[in-house]
C-alpha cells in the first residue's frame, strides 16, 4: 500500500521537480513527447523512467473526460529490449498540470512487456533509460 501511495504521489505531484527534456515533436504539431532523466531508477537490467506527452488539441477518454497531457512511468528491460507501462495518468492541462483526470497502475505480475521497435519513440526512450545513447 505504501508503494502505491508513493507512486501516485510521484505521478500527481508538481512538475517543478521534474527535468523534462523533449524527446520528439510530431511533424504535424499534434503532440510533443518528453522524458525525465532524473527519474531513472532501476536494478537488474530493469529500469523505470517518467515520460510525458503534451497534445496541442484536447483529447477525450472513452468516458468523455477531456485531457491535454499524459504522464507515464514506464519500465524498460535493458537486456531483452522490451518495455511496459507501469502507471499512466491523464491531466486536464499541458505538462501534467491542472486536475488529474484518470490514472491507473499495472501490478508487476500483470505487466505486458512489448518488444522495442527499431526507429520508434519507444526505442528512443529505451536508449535513454538504459544509457545506450
Predicted TM-score (pTM) of this structure: 0.81
pLDDT band at 92 (very low <50, low <70, confident <90, very high): very high
Q: Is residue 105 over pLDDT 80?
A: yes
Written out in words, the top-level CATH class of the domain with range 2-129 is mainly beta
> What are the boundaries of each domain within the chain?
2-129
Grid cell locating 91: 491531466
What is the pLDDT at residue 27? Answer: 73
Residues 6+ apart with CB under 8 A from 27: none
Residues 6+ apart with CB under 8 A from 97: 15, 69, 91
Give residue-wise pLDDT tens across range 21-58: 999 887 778 899 999 999 999 977 899 999 999 999 99
Amino acid at each position: 500500500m505504501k508503494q502505491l501511495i508513493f507512486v501516485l504521489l510521484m505521478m500527481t505531484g508538481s512538475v517543478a521537480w521534474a527535468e523534462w527534456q523533449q524527446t520528439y515533436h510530431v511533424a504535424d504539431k499534434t503532440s510533443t513527447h518528453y522524458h525525465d532523466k532524473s527519474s531513472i531508477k532501476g536494478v537488474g537490467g530493469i529500469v523505470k523512467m517518467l515520460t510525458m506527452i503534451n497534445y496541442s488539441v484536447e483529447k477525450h477518454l472513452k468516458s468523455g473526460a477531456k485531457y491535454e497531457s499524459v504522464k507515464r512511468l514506464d519500465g524498460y528491460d535493458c537486456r531483452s529490449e522490451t518495455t511496459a507501462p507501469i502507471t499512466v495518468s491523464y491531466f486536464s492541462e499541458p505538462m501534467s498540470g491542472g486536475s488529474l483526470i484518470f490514472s491507473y497502475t499495472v501490478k508487476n505480475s500483470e505487466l505486458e512487456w512489448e518488444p522495442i521497435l527499431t526507429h520508434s519513440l519507444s526505442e528512443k526512450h529505451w536508449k535513454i533509460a538504459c544509457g545506450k545513447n
